[in-house]
Amino acid sequence: MSLDWTALSEGELATLSIAGREAAFTEIMRRHRASIFRVVRACVGEADEALDLLQETFVAAYQAMPRYDGDRSMRAWLATIAINKCRDWGRKRTVRRFLAFAVPIGTEAHAVADDSQAIDEATSDRQELDRVMRAISRLPHKLKEALVLRTIEGLSQAETAAVLSISEKAVETRLYRARAKLLEELGRV
């Protein structure tokens, strides 16, 4: 008899994953990969880098699974790991740029054609999305992280505060500043 993985709670999946059931962790990844990818993509601004960091996030989560608190939201826990991976990536990238005296490393992922829209319309939408994502990725880390978690991922103000280890009022302030700076940035381009 096999388990219905989709019916299990996140705490049960974590327990089974710790016990060595790979299918349990696979279900955790299935449930959260899209939202964690959006967090990472918004933080780094590059789809290819985001895919690599998504993979690193889940590897780190798998290794840290024994430390997962079942009372905490799995999505918030994974978002914390992802944010930390993005911070590490940003520090490494800064060092590489400094040492290489070069422009940023990375390329944009190629979009797959969507037959449901006209090509020029899809291209325009993709270009606008890329422009917004690049603008978000250029925001200061403190502002970017609050904006991504609260606005894009829809975490509550309390969850966002917990992930970032700040007060709810600080989340509110950072969101206000992030939106203002983003509007300024988008207006400039």
Q: What is the pLDDT of residues 46-95, one digit of tens each?
A: 888 999 999 999 999 999 999 998 888 899 999 999 999 998 888 877 66
Length of the chain equals: 189
Residue 171 backbone phi and psi in degrees, to 5:
-60, -45
* Cβ–Cβ < 8 Å for 162, 173: no
Cβ proximity of 28 and 57 under 8 Å: no
Shortest CA distance to 42 belongs to which of 121, 108, 137, 129?
A: 137
Euclidean distance between CA atoms 70 and 14, whole angstroms? 8
Q: How far apart are CA 21 and CA 55, in angstroms?
A: 19
CB within 8 A of 73, min separation 6: which ones?
10, 159
* Fold adopted by 1-107: Rna Polymerase Sigma Factor; Chain: A (1.10.1740)
Residue 118 φ/ψ, nearest 5 degrees: -65, 150
What's the rounded Cα separation, in Å, for the pair 16 and 173? 40
User: Residue 1: pLDDT above 80?
Assistant: no
Residue 104 has what pLDDT?
45
pLDDT in tens, 145-157: 898 888 888 888 9
CATH architecture of the domain formed by 118-189:
Orthogonal Bundle (1.10)
- In the prediction, which pLDDT does 123 show? 65
Average pLDDT, stretch 108-116? 45
What is the reported pTM? 0.64
Q: Is 82 helix (H, G, I), strand (E, B) or coil?
A: helix
- DSSP letter at 153 equals S
- Does the pLDDT value for residue 99 go beyond 70? no
Rounded distance between C-alpha atoms, residue 31 and residue 151, angstroms: 19
Q: Which amino acid is at 7?
A: A
Q: How many CA atoms lie within 13 A of 55 on its CB side?
A: 5
Residue ranges of domains in the chain: 1-107, 118-189
Q: Is pLDDT above 90 for 167? A: yes
Place of tokens 């992802």: 82
Rounded distance between C-alpha atoms, residue 183 and residue 179, angstroms: 6
Give the residue from 56, 88, 84 showing the smallest Cα distance to 165. 84
pLDDT in the model for residue 112: 42
